[in-house]
Amino acid sequence: MDDAAREARIARNESRFREINEQLEADLRRLPGDPEMVSFVCECGNRACADLVQMTFEEYEGVRSNSHTFVVVPGHEMPEVEEVVQRTVRFHVVAKVERTQRIVETTDPRP
């Protein structure tokens, strides 16, 4: 597989996890009370990854407000397609490098 195809595949995987988290957030928001920490799925490019990241809604919204950024378990970032823009002990926030941005933009569930 060439690099472009590989990058596209990684970007699509990450977009898929983002959709799962969007749904998760919507479901949890309907529950009474606001849980302090929520488990979101890692949005890294590895399709087999099922790890969870603990975040507050506020933190997740901060990541989601930019369609180029994703949340991953620290160490799950893929330096060839993304760069870490925020590091915490619980999660890292990664931003797509320019050439894969178009894919993640067109798959963003939020218009």
Residue of 44, 55, 95, 104 interacting with Zn ion (CB under 5 A): 44
Q: Which is nearer to Zn ion, 2 or 104 (CB)?
A: 104
Q: According to the binding rule CB under 5 A, does residue 94 interact with Zn ion?
A: no
Q: Does 41 bind Zn ion (CB under 5 A)?
A: no
78 is an interface residue for Zn ion by CB under 5 A: no
Asked if residues 25 and 60 have their Cβ atoms less than 8 Å apart, the reply is: yes
- For residue 44, what is the DSSP state? -
Asked if residue 64 binds Zn ion (CB under 5 A), the reply is no
Q: Exposed (0-12), middle (13-18) or buried (19+): which is 85, by Cβ within 10 Å?
A: middle
Binding footprint of Zn ion, residue count (CB under 5 A)? 6
Name residue 92's beta-bridge partners.
72, 87
Of 38, 44, 41, give the one whose Cα is nearest residue 75: 44
Residue 26 tokens read as 């919507």
**Exactly one of 49, 78, 85, 97 binds Zn ion (CB under 5 A); which one?**
49
Q: Does 76 bind Zn ion (CB under 5 A)?
A: yes
Q: Which residues of the chain form contacts with Zn ion (CB under 5 A)?
A: 42, 44, 49, 51, 73, 76
